[in-house]
Chains A and B, each alone.
Chain A
Amino acid sequence: MEAFLFFSCGALMLLGGVMMVLQRSAVVAALWLVFAFIAASGVFAALSAPFLAIMQVLVYAGAIMVLFLFVIMMLQGPVLEGERKRLALPMWPAVAIPPVAVLVLVGSWLSRRHAEALPVQPAGFGSPGQVADLLLGRYLLAFELISIVLLVAIIGALALGNRERKLPWS
């Protein structure tokens, strides 16, 4: 079951990535990326990492991509000139669904062949407690350094974005 989930979610993730690149509309591309993120969370779930799986959806699909979409939509109206030539709705599922089905089938076939490739993890593996132990114990320094990098990035973005306005420190 885990192997089946792993391979089919992996296949769907690939599909999401490919579809994202092939889109002409930036909004639809962003949505395919969200699809790929959710499929990636399925891959994490199949690898017995529930915490990571949920975090993938919560952070990437739920927060970051919403902001991306927000910006794209502000900049671009719903119908671009180039998009008008694209497939109409009745064709759209007909084009999108067969590849999904094929990919799921390929996933199940792969999972039959490579079922033993997924190691069985000990109980409690990937639980929030274990992730926390690693992040705030063994990798504490790296974790804190990353948060400092992010803080610097935020301040940098503010400084660059607000060039015209006077900032308190400039």
Chain B
Amino acid sequence: MAIVLESLAKIVFMFLLIMGMVPALIWAERKGAAYIQDRTGPNRASIGGVRLAGLVHPIADVLKLVFKEDIAPTHRHRALYALAPWLVMTVAVSTYAVIPFGDYLTIAGKRIPLVVADLQVGLLYVLAVASLGTYGIVLAGWAANNKFTFLGGIRATAQMISYEINMGLAVMGLMLIFGSLRITDIVAGQGGMLFGWLPMWGVVLQPLGFVLFITSVYAETNRNPFDLPEGESEIVAGYHLEYSSLKFALFFMAEYCHMVVGAAMISALYFGGYQVPWLPRPMLEKHAGLLLLIVLVATIAASLLFAVLFMRRVARERGKFGDARDREPKLGAGFWFLVAAAAAGALALRPWEIGPAGAGVFASLFQVGAFVGKVVFFAWLFIWVRWTLPRFRYDQLMRLGWKVMLPLGLANLVVTALVLAAVGSGK
């Protein structure tokens, strides 16, 4: 029973992490795109005058998508048309089962590994689930019975099959080095130091493998520069053209879930996952009090800074709009003052005198925080790349996959194997 509850808690945590990041990423995508293109971006939706720099827009989006009429083409294949969005979403969220989001958490003397399912063949599971992701897209394209959606589906299939191979080859290098297909083993193996100062992260040991892997992940998630399946200028919106309302929302959400999961995979396999560089677990536990103090002081400083910025807006924009929007700076300043006060209140509890049990929990949470931080960064990288690079042409995409990346991946594998054989550290 305890194990069921434990797994359930972990599943819920990961699900909330992903689902919570989806609206945040949609916001980041819009704002990021706007700033990269020298615009302001969305800032009109508001709740009682609070606009949160456009953060209210995802809520408006959800409302719109829920209440929109669900228009479906008459000539669709009914069952498969309904099945496709569901399939896409299921595949998008099932990868996270094998990604460790922390090392372990000790509660009441019980050691809980922070991963939903610690599969022996976790790495292969990721590849298998990713390969199933093709079905949702190709079915959506086919079942809608529209030439453009069909072209999108066909493009997606060819692209995903081509880049899956590269992804597998890139990951095989890691497998050779860490001698395991278990993702927790790979993350744990990245905790060491190379030459005593360089973190033994996958990206350090397998720089070429990392480049190949991140490129394949971008292609697998159908994000720019590889978003040929939904190339607007050529095939309107690609495979999800004929979907509207919540069915479209599922495709939209699945894309962002794929981004989060892809970012989690990149950080787990190549950037040490939950490992904090130069701060291994024993050190985290030893200096828990000091670190907690630093975290709290940093929170106070940051929220005071935000509060001061809002106060300046209050002074500058007095009565600027003449409606509810004028309240926003005041509310913002108040919110950040409250956060600062809460952190100061936590300081009064003397956190530097934290006990060993508390230190363990703090170390676990700190590592989870490190993992989430890395995931957020790589999710942002997806957006950054999308608004920086132009889209590939289809033949260029295929040439890159088969004629450039595949030989590079094979070469990387051979060189890795040779080096490991020479050093004699391969398992």
Contacts and interface: CB of A to CB of B under 8 A. Distances in A.
B339 to A, nearest CB: 46
B135 interface: yes
Interface in B103-119: 119
Contact of B143 (A50, A57, A63, A78): A78
B341 interface: no
B220 to A, nearest CB: 12
Interface of A: 25, 27-28, 31, 34, 50-51, 54-55, 57-58, 61-63, 66-67, 69-70, 73-74, 77-79, 88-89, 92, 127-128
B154 A63 contact: no
Contact of A51 (B76, B124, B157): B124
B293 to A, nearest CB: 45
B124 A78 contact: no
Contact of B131 (A31, A62, A70, A88): A62
Interface string B183-198: 0000000000000000
User: What's the dominant secondary structure at chain A's contact region?
Assistant: helix
B154 A92 contact: no
A162 B181 CA distance: 40
A61 B164 CA distance: 14
Contact of A27 (B130, B132, B142, B157): B142
A31 B81 CA distance: 13
B402 to A, nearest CB: 15
B125 A79 contact: no
Contacts of B154: 70, 73-74
A55 B226 CA distance: 27
A73 B127 CA distance: 24
Nearest to B161: A66
B119 A50 contact: yes
B157 A78 contact: no
Contacts, number: 84
B164 A63 contact: yes
A65 to B, nearest CB: 8
A55 B124 contact: yes
B145 A73 contact: no
Contacts of B124: 51, 54-55, 58, 128
29 contacts: A25-B77, A27-B142, A31-B139, A50-B119, A51-B121, A51-B124, A54-B121, A54-B125, A57-B128, A58-B127, A58-B131, A61-B132, A62-B128, A62-B130, A62-B131, A62-B164, A66-B134, A69-B135, A73-B153, A77-B145, A78-B75, A78-B142, A79-B145, A88-B78, A89-B79, A128-B120, A128-B121, A128-B124, A128-B181
Nearest to A127: B120
B147 to A, nearest CB: 10
Contacts of B120: 50-51, 127-128
